[in-house]
Structure 1
Amino acid sequence: MTNQALPKRLIEVDLPIKRISAHSRREKSIRHGHISTLHIWWARRPLAACRAVICAALWPDPADEHCPPAFREAARKAMLDWARNHLALVSAESFPRLVAIQKDAARLDDALELRHALLDFIADFANWDNSTVKEYLDTSRALTQAAHEALGGASGTRPLVVDPFAGGGSIPLEALRVGADAFASDLNPIPVLLNKVVLEYIPKYGHRLADEVRKWGAWIKQEAEKELAEFYPKDPDGAMPIAYLWARTIRCEGPGCGVEVPLMRSLWLAKRANRSVALQLLPDHRGKRVDLRIIVKQRHGWSDQTDSTNGINAPKLDGTVRRGSATCPCCGYTTPVARVREQLKARNGGANSARLVCVVTTRRGESGRQYRLPTERDLLAVDKASKRLEELARSNTNELALVPNEELPLMSGVFNVPIYGHTTWGSLFSYRQALTLSTIARLLRELGNSPHSLEEGILATLCMCLGRQADNLTSLVTWTPGGEFQGHTFTRQALGMIMDFAEVNPWSGGSGDWSGAVDWVARVCDEIASAALSMGHVQQASATQHPLPDDSVASVITDPPYYNAVPYADLAQFFYVWLRRSVTGGLSDLFRERETPKDQEICEMAGWDPARYPQKNGKWFELQMTAAMSEARRVQRPDGISVVVFAHKTTGGWESMLQAMIEAGWILVASWPIDTERGARLRARNSAALGSSVHLVCRPRENPDGSLRTGDVGDWRDVLAELPRRIHEWMPRLAEEGVVGADAIFACLGPALEIFSRYSRVEKASGEVVTLREYLEQVWAAVAKEALAQVFKDADTAGFEPDARLTAMWLWTLNAGAINGDESPADEEEADDEEETKGKSAKAKGGFVLEYDAARKIAQGLGAHLEDLDHVVEVSGESARLLPVSERTQYLFGKEQADAPTGGRKKKAAQMDLFGELTKIGADETAWTEKTVKKIGETTLDRVHQAMILFAAGRGEALKRFLVEDGAGRDQRFWRLAQALSALYPSATSEKRWVDGVLARKKGLGL
């Protein structure tokens, strides 16, 4: 049987990506019970997207001529039952269709209507609120079983979904939820343990696991608190300290000074609309010290917290640290960042020589936080904790050091803390923090080794609590004045230096404490148990050596690493060192080695750390990914379908991934962009990141017996003839779902590559083999032409010169029109590490940036060449920048009028380009000097830009002469292009306002 004769799955023909994307985005804000709160793992896929994709991949399309009649009938019964009995559960989008079905069951005799009913169900089921609703679960599982049996699966068995890069567990969890079996594997022990909890232990124990976690979590709290109570004393008045705020210190290196300077980014403690509290630095020049007091803002102004009658002038609350350098409050000398580093390095990072500056407390029966200065009692407790830790370290008989002494490597952009002296994982923790975590680790070991040893599943789940507590209890945790809470360590995929930090009291009952960690984990257990899942299987294995036999899998669905996007193994070492000191019994096998497996992890690491990973370059990554994709095809049944999630930022990355899949023997049949990310996340603000994750749908290029088809040769002329037709069919459907720009380009890859990858090779008439790269050039050209037709709708695009076509396509590719408002990261804490802030102070250029190769392909697809358009595009290294209108003044008006506006108020909006770097767009809102058009522009784009600048300069009469007397406005191409640019420019940019201003003049001028 050929692939063409196989029944198509729903995901090959349609997917309600707009609604699935909405559920995926919303899921980012859901906390309690979500798998993401069980334990940190990076780049975890949203459950909504996974659930929808798995259903659509497993269920046949009832409208396909080869759909098994048994499934079509089962789907008809299921949707009819849904319409008759469950209307109250569904969303507004699917309600009209189901109401119509309820009134007229014969509608489901139409296979297309049945397809849409199934897609509506999938979109509704993607909603987090429906993930444990019995009716949704029962229906999805019935459909999955019906599909499995109709496609040849043995009665009583379930389809097997495999994820060889299981990571955070979203994909295998959703496979179980919809009624499939799941096999999850990963090379790293942390996700293996995490997946065991989710896929094996929660289904095995059900709600009992949550009860056991709460029970034994309370026992650990009781035992640990008993041992550690003296190190976390309550206040004499009964108040409970919930957090201790610390500042690392250096000695001022100003001439004759030597004052101990507390390193603080900000002095704010509470910063709310109705409540402001801050620390005030009190320089004692004579005593050569810096004292502190707490001040509060009342209606009448600032005052001393202890004496409200003591009025204070508006204080400066900027802190002492900026970009890693430290300014002395006494003498004003600024110790440069290099010397700050050297001083902290001499103190092993300075966590244990930091100054306690404030204690945050709560009182039973009272709302809100209170703040007080530290007392001798607080300092004595810290000193006693350090001595206890030293005693325990000396008497430790475990082969592992009490406090993790494994090396913390320097990795620029990932681990910058070693620059400041944090060279071991244990150095990230103050003495008291390390004492607390080592106590919890010991108690977990005792539970595992006791005569009535704790069952493996319960112990593993309690280890999730330890991971959460460790994340909350380092010297890299910040205090957030806006919400009055402490954060956690991994707010991003890196460890950057934090000069002042918050230490949670783990026994306080406040956020970030041990009871909270236990509760978060127990809630996940309860939530997943509510779905009544069957048990999955989890195994530690490399994706390049999969343990399953040939042709045994219904579907491989996976989210592989993207080159060097996330250094998983190195990040996971943070948790690994503590889990090694906690687990016992069978779980110990996962943690035998000193470090997480790094050499064989498929991540391109040579750029992060060339000293440790010289061999793990881009070529190595591509070879390993090809091997992994080959293994996925080997275990996939010949009639099955797989989905690979990919979201790399460069066209080169995409080409390499696609090459790996084709070489591994896959035919790509569809691709769907699902919006899985928040646009304002920190990762998106500081580097190129796709707004969507593209789901590449593929089938094995195999014979019915599982052997690879190698003799299929395609004719280049036939492939080229079919390509534009396929793109023309696909892009309007994407536009209906709101998919435009780069997301639409990548969404076209699947249909385009199906034409190419169905053959073992494609040849020209000469016999020359066509490379994937050569074909992708044609894909880009076809997409560019189709997109341009969409931008200008029914206009004759051939009437526009290359600069106009390129400008329109460039803006469309960036999806600039969808970016609104200012997303500057003002609400993010400023990093102290110079490596993290390097270059931020440089004035950002305006314009719209693309990766050079992407820009070249866009231009080529439009019949243009970048080198001929240097008055529109500036190429610099690996980036290409579409010039803002203000920078084209000299070209458009001549040297004597070349000045751009300066001074005045700025309005900026963050424009996320998808292939380059974060770019600030928009120009200064200021006055221009007088502008006069001496020579009308040669192209339509030039003339539109001239008109925009005249409007911006306030030259109303000159603009009128230009449009009417000079004739620029009498050319309808001028207005069509202006209208297109108005739709494409981001709403917060000057360009958008200027072109709209020109358009507003049209009617009044009789044009």
Structure 2
Amino acid sequence: MTKTYKKKLIEVAIPLEAINEASAREKSIRHGHPSTLHLWWARRPLAACRAVLFAQLVDDPSSNLEEFPTHEAQEAERKRLFTIIEDLVKWENSTNEEVLEKARAEIRKSCGGELPPVYDPFSGGGSIPLEAQRLGLPSFGSDLNPVAVMIGKSMIEIPPRFKNADPVHGGAKERNFYRNAEGLAEDVKFYGEWMREEAWRRVGHLYPQAPLPKPYGGGDATVIAWIWARTVASPDPAFGGAHVPLVSSFLLSAYAGREAMIFPKVNKSARCIDYEIKQGPFSKSELEVARSGTKAGKGQDFICLLSDTAIPREYIRREGKAGRLGQKLIAIVAEGNGGRAYASPSQDHENVLIGLKGDAAISEARDTFLAGETPTRAEITGGVCSAYGLTTWGSLFNDRQLTALLTFLNILPDLRKKVFEDAIAVGLSEECSGQGDGISLAGTYANAISIYLSFAITKLADRGSTICSWDSSRTILRNTFARQGIPMTWDYAEGNPFSSSTGNWSSCCEWIFKAIEKFSPNSSGSESQQDAQSAQIPKAAAISTDPPYYDNIAYSILSDFFYSLLRPALKNVAPEIFSVISTPKSEELVAIASRHGGRDGAEQFFIEGMTKAIRKMVENSLEDIPATIYYAFKQSEVKEEGISSTGWATFLQAVIEAGYAVVGTWPMRTEMANRMIASGTNALANSVVLVCRKRDDAAEPVTRAEFIRTLKRELPDAIAELQAANIAPADMPQSAIGPGMGIFSRYQVVLEADDSPMSVKTALQLINAELDEYLGGIQGEFDPDTRFAINWFEQHGMKAGDYGAADNLARARGISVDSVKHAGIVESAAGKVRLLSREELDEEWEPEGDDHLTIWECLQHLVRFHEKDGLSWETIRLMRMIGEKAEAAKDLAYCLYDISANKRKDAKEATAYNAIIADWTELSREAAKIHDTRRDGQSAFDL
């Protein structure tokens, strides 16, 4: 018997554009955002997770026919639920209890009066468990990676245990009443400053002040950063092995009125180079020279300043691998009066670093917990430094940077002791906390503060390695992980942890303080280290997860950068998590060819492991609540293979083979387009949320022919519903996968002609073909002149073509070229015909005065206004005037997007049509508000 269940909102409709807009905006929010607690890669935006969880748990109105018996009543109720989601996804409302409680009330109503638990077996950066907790849902997360586990614990496990608690420190309290995690946050800030003072007492002498040049007022100032250049022996034997700098840029500040650059003074006879600071203004050519550093032209890396000859890349690699790269101080950035001050290098400052050479503690650190290997090109795509000799984590830090990190690590045990004593003094129990861990409440609190401040140490490392370079456009330090890799840097910026500027210890603590302060734990939370393939899934939990993405970056390799420091910091706090030397690699569910004997082996490893992990989810899935699974496309895959890309197809294969039926897909634009990796081959283009239910046990096999017949019967209506919901054309192929795969995965198997099972990749191709046929079929519903314009655009774009071809095309549609010309769509002259561009259309055109009105004109005029002014009054007014032809114009926009993007490869045209659809809901809503009046009060049009 076929199972019946109430459909949830996410299986029918969601306000996708509002979710996407909030998700994109969230990427620019820093202060107080949980992502600033600790770096993790490819986090899901909180807005998207919050909206998906709500829609996953709340019933769709069509499931309650007694209360909503008609289509109109259901649409009205959906609109009300959409309004809740639109409020819910706003960053400003993430701690708004009124908005959150309204959402919780809807979840309770749909879930028998209770808030069900949520589990994420691939919790990563913790966005899903955190948002479940924000909605009041008991929250469970697990991950194989210990760094991710500690992030999860710090977000969902620790804050609820100390909710509304006062801080324990002995200093002056910042407020009288503490809500949520505010007391915890204040203690992190207080004890962070205590650690800074203690570290300064131990190693402050290694950070001398710098004398400022007269233009900056003279005197001594705190250093912000020391700018170092890596050096290599001149390849020219005539210079006897003298070292020369490898510099990417000599520019220190590009700010108008504050320009500054490093000027190398070359003394060839003495075989040496000195450096001085020059202040602007500079000419354009001077700036170009400064920005080029010592880099050479095409095909070469650098120029030797002594010999003026090229320094080949292979030569630098050989020298680096042999350990013969040096470093030279080339500038000092200091805290001047009213801004940055730039000073020439000082030998005294360089001597501080030279004096640390051979330090036993530094050598021991490099030989022990920092001896792990840095990534190779085979494992990541964001650049590697290992090819130049930086092959261990310890080699990424100079001696002073490493001394600072070791100092803060050595202070942590003293910190734990101090917090424990202060906690006892304010009344926290010395007895076992009752959590089953055998630790007192005071001990648990001391451990919690230690965890957060160990994150400050890893933040300091991220801002304090020799991979960090100086950003002259913003005059700040770039961090180590400016991209998802560890690329080689030549001139690096060594920050001062005791300054009050970029990269300092206090700011590392401040970021953490602000993140914790915003936590609003509204339920319990638990994070554990488990392999998703064998994880113990909590009973009766709704599942929402963001699993690894096929052959995406191996985060286990990158996270060892942090793990190598967290392990000595926390191995006594969480010994079960930090029991191994490095993060697990072989079990990581990513298709890395170098790990599995080639691409085929990697694909087999991924699909077997992911199938096993998802099968665990299927076995524990609730009957009445669908599971949601995020998947992120890669730009390279989409460009080369479309929606049937290998990674996507492989992932869907695992989902279906595990026993899920895919009942919906929602494309979510959750990644920033300007990320550094976006220019690389493996940038994540956008995410798709799969909505899944257990496949019916009564499912039967069908033939390929029957599957195609069912697609043709059911998919058009589903696509029409997606169009009615104004899904952007760019998102339509992914959105159509939902109903298409819903058909495919409802069967036990789809059999090919030779009785072999149809692959998901083949099914995706058939679904896409049906989408193309549907969009092509829409053309038959347009007026003949519009159909002519569509076909002419498909063949010629906006270029001119032969009159004879145009005449034949027009006659086939029962019209003539003169008819299309009379409609104002084309120009016909000298035996040539071409479509008029939007800019050439009559600016005074209005539909009620057109005696030869076409859908083509309606859309092109709408797009013309929209391109110029967006959601302006004129665009909205025109939408109102078009009236009943608006839906046909929208259909035409989908057709023209498909032709522009997929057939003509015209990105500009495709973008224009995509943009108008993206704003269609708002345009329609605003147009409906216009009641035959213009801004001057006169009649605007007569509909």
TM-score computed with the length of structure 1 as normaliser? 0.71
Instruction: Choose which of 758, 764, 786 in structure 2 pairs with 1:776.
Output: 764
Q: Distance in 2 between matches of 1:585 and 1:385?
A: 29
Number of residue pairs the alignment of both structures matches? 780
Q: Is the 8 A contact 1:52 1:125 kept in 2?
A: yes
Q: Is the 8 A contact 2:362 2:399 kept in 1?
A: no
Provide closer, same or farther for how the CA distance between residues 293 and 884 of structure 1 changes in structure 2, counting only shifts above 3 A. Answer: farther
Instruction: Choose which of 633, 652, 655 in structure 1 pairs with 2:646.
Output: 652
Which deviations, in whole Å up to 9, do the C-alpha atoms of 1:157-203 show, x marking residues without a partner? Answer: 53111111100000111111112111100000000000000001122
Equivalent residue for 2:716? 728
Shift of residue 674, structure 1, vs aligned partner: 1.1
Q: Is the 8 A contact 1:244 1:359 kept in 2?
A: yes
Shift of residue 512, structure 1, vs aligned partner: 1.6
* 3-state DSSP of counterpart to 1:280: strand
1:698 aligned to 2:667?
A: no
Instruction: Choose which of 97, 100, 114 in structure 2 pairs with 1:134.
Output: 97
Equivalent residue for 1:336? 312
Provide closer, same or farther for how the CA distance between residues 710 and 315 of structure 1 changes in structure 2, counting only shifts above 3 A. Answer: closer
* 3-state DSSP of counterpart to 2:275: strand
Shift of residue 56, structure 1, vs aligned partner: 0.2
Amino acid at match of 1:961: A
* 3-state DSSP of counterpart to 2:830: helix
* 3-state DSSP of counterpart to 1:295: strand
Equivalent residue for 1:37? 36
Q: Is the 8 A contact 1:20 1:52 kept in 2?
A: yes
Identity over the aligned pairs, expressed in percent? 30
Q: Is the 8 A contact 2:8 2:625 kept in 1?
A: no
User: 1:444-483 counterparts in 2 under 5 A?
Assistant: 444-448=412-416, 452=421, 455-483=446-474
Which deviations, in whole Å up to 9, do the C-alpha atoms of 1:20-52 show, x marking residues without a partner? Answer: 100000001000111111111111000011000
* 3-state DSSP of counterpart to 2:593: coil
Provide closer, same or farther for how the CA distance between residues 606 and 716 of structure 1 changes in structure 2, counting only shifts above 3 A. Answer: closer
User: 1:943-958 counterparts in 2 under 5 A?
Assistant: none
Provide closer, same or farther for how the CA distance between residues 324 and 222 of structure 1 changes in structure 2, counting only shifts above 3 A. Answer: farther
Provide closer, same or farther for how the CA distance between residues 191 and 964 of structure 1 changes in structure 2, counting only shifts above 3 A. Answer: closer
Provide closer, same or farther for how the CA distance between residues 884 and 261 of structure 1 changes in structure 2, counting only shifts above 3 A. Answer: farther
Amino acid at match of 2:608: L
Shift of residue 605, structure 1, vs aligned partner: 1.2
Which deviations, in whole Å up to 9, do the C-alpha atoms of 1:511-534 show, x marking residues without a partner? Answer: 221100100011000011xx2422
Q: Distance in 1 between matches of 2:753 and 2:320?
A: 68
Amino acid at match of 2:605: W
Q: Is the 8 A contact 1:296 1:302 kept in 2?
A: no
Provide closer, same or farther for how the CA distance between residues 340 and 959 of structure 1 changes in structure 2, counting only shifts above 3 A. Answer: farther
1:378 aligned to 2:349?
A: yes
Shift of residue 771, structure 1, vs aligned partner: 4.6
Q: Is the 8 A contact 2:249 2:290 kept in 1?
A: no
1:176 aligned to 2:150?
A: no
Q: Is the 8 A contact 2:120 2:128 kept in 1?
A: yes
Instruction: Choose which of 259, 262, 283 in structure 2 pairs with 1:279.
Output: 262
* 3-state DSSP of counterpart to 2:342: strand
Cα RMSD of the aligned pairs, angstroms, is 4.0
Amino acid at match of 2:313: V
Which deviations, in whole Å up to 9, do the C-alpha atoms of 1:937-983 show, x marking residues without a partner? Answer: 99979xxxxxxxxxxxxxxxx99423169xxxxxx99x999998986
Instruction: Choose which of 348, 355, 358 in structure 1 pairs with 2:331.
Output: 358
User: 1:71-110 counterparts in 2 under 5 A?
Assistant: 110=73
User: 1:772-921 counterparts in 2 under 5 A?
Assistant: 772-789=760-777, 794=782
1:222 aligned to 2:202?
A: no
Q: Is the 8 A contact 1:246 1:501 kept in 2?
A: yes
Equivalent residue for 2:672? 678
Instruction: Choose which of 233, 257, 269 in structure 1 pairs with 2:208.
Output: 233
User: 1:293-442 counterparts in 2 under 5 A?
Assistant: 293-298=276-281, 317-322=291-296, 325-347=301-323, 350=325, 353-363=326-336, 366-387=337-358, 390-393=359-362, 401=367, 404-412=370-378, 413-414=381-382, 416-442=384-410
Equivalent residue for 2:214? none
Q: Is the 8 A contact 2:704 2:752 kept in 1?
A: yes
Q: Is the 8 A contact 2:104 2:135 kept in 1?
A: yes
Shift of residue 796, structure 1, vs aligned partner: 7.7
Q: Distance in 2 between matches of 1:123 and 1:271?
A: 41
Q: Is the 8 A contact 2:224 2:496 kept in 1?
A: yes
Provide closer, same or farther for how the CA distance between residues 797 and 504 of structure 1 changes in structure 2, counting only shifts above 3 A. Answer: farther
Instruction: Choose which of 831, 838, 852 in structure 2 pairs with 1:962.
Output: 831
Q: Is the 8 A contact 1:33 1:523 kept in 2?
A: yes
Instruction: Choose which of 536, 541, 557 in structure 2 pairs with 1:547.
Output: 536
Which deviations, in whole Å up to 9, do the C-alpha atoms of 1:638-691 show, x marking residues without a partner? Answer: 222101111233322222221211111111111111111222322222225454
Q: Is the 8 A contact 2:265 2:275 kept in 1?
A: yes
Which deviations, in whole Å up to 9, do the C-alpha atoms of 1:679-715 show, x marking residues without a partner? Answer: 232222222545421111011125xxxxxx1553456
Shift of residue 223, structure 1, vs aligned partner: 1.0
Provide closer, same or farther for how the CA distance between residues 464 and 994 of structure 1 changes in structure 2, counting only shifts above 3 A. Answer: closer
Equivalent residue for 1:522? 513
Provide closer, same or farther for how the CA distance between residues 145 and 766 of structure 1 changes in structure 2, counting only shifts above 3 A. Answer: same
Equivalent residue for 1:212? 187
5+ residue gaps in structure 1? Answer: 74-106, 151-156, 304-311, 703-708, 809-871, 873-882, 893-932, 942-957, 966-971, 996-1007
* 3-state DSSP of counterpart to 1:581: helix
Q: Distance in 2 between matches of 1:648 and 1:470?
A: 31
Shift of residue 566, structure 1, vs aligned partner: 1.9
Which deviations, in whole Å up to 9, do the C-alpha atoms of 1:431-472 show, x marking residues without a partner? Answer: 111111111112124434678466222211112212211111
Instruction: Choose which of 148, 165, 182 in structure 1 pairs with 2:122.
Output: 165
Shift of residue 342, structure 1, vs aligned partner: 1.4
Greater Cα offset, 265-274 or 108-117? 108-117
Q: Distance in 1 between matches of 2:394 and 2:540?
A: 43
Shift of residue 332, structure 1, vs aligned partner: 1.1
Equivalent residue for 2:548? 561
Q: Is the 8 A contact 2:251 2:290 kept in 1?
A: no
Q: Is the 8 A contact 1:480 1:486 kept in 2?
A: yes
Q: Distance in 2 between matches of 1:211 and 1:159?
A: 32
Equivalent residue for 2:77? 114
Q: Is the 8 A contact 1:345 1:420 kept in 2?
A: yes
* 3-state DSSP of counterpart to 1:562: coil
Q: Is the 8 A contact 1:268 1:481 kept in 2?
A: yes
Equivalent residue for 1:754? 742
Shift of residue 743, structure 1, vs aligned partner: 2.4
Provide closer, same or farther for how the CA distance between residues 421 and 743 of structure 1 changes in structure 2, counting only shifts above 3 A. Answer: same
Instruction: Choose which of 483, 494, 508 in structure 2 pairs with 1:503.
Output: 494
* 3-state DSSP of counterpart to 1:591: coil
Instruction: Choose which of 176, 181, 188 in structure 1 pairs with 2:145.
Output: 188
Amino acid at match of 2:409: A
Shift of residue 145, structure 1, vs aligned partner: 2.3
Q: Distance in 1 between matches of 2:797 and 2:39?
A: 41
Shift of residue 768, structure 1, vs aligned partner: 7.1
Which deviations, in whole Å up to 9, do the C-alpha atoms of 1:908-959 show, x marking residues without a partner? Answer: xxxxxxxxxxxxxxxxxxxxxxxxx899799979xxxxxxxxxxxxxxxx99
Instruction: Choose which of 475, 500, 506 in structure 2 pairs with 1:484.
Output: 475
Equivalent residue for 1:244? 226
Q: Distance in 1 between matches of 2:535 and 2:289?
A: 63
Equivalent residue for 1:603? 590
Equivalent residue for 2:526? 537
Amino acid at match of 1:561: P
Q: Distance in 2 between matches of 1:791 and 1:482?
A: 51
* 3-state DSSP of counterpart to 1:275: coil
Q: Distance in 2 between matches of 1:173 and 1:546?
A: 19
User: 1:598-677 counterparts in 2 under 5 A?
Assistant: 598-607=585-594, 617-649=602-634, 650=637, 651-677=645-671
Greater Cα offset, 977-986 or 113-122? 977-986
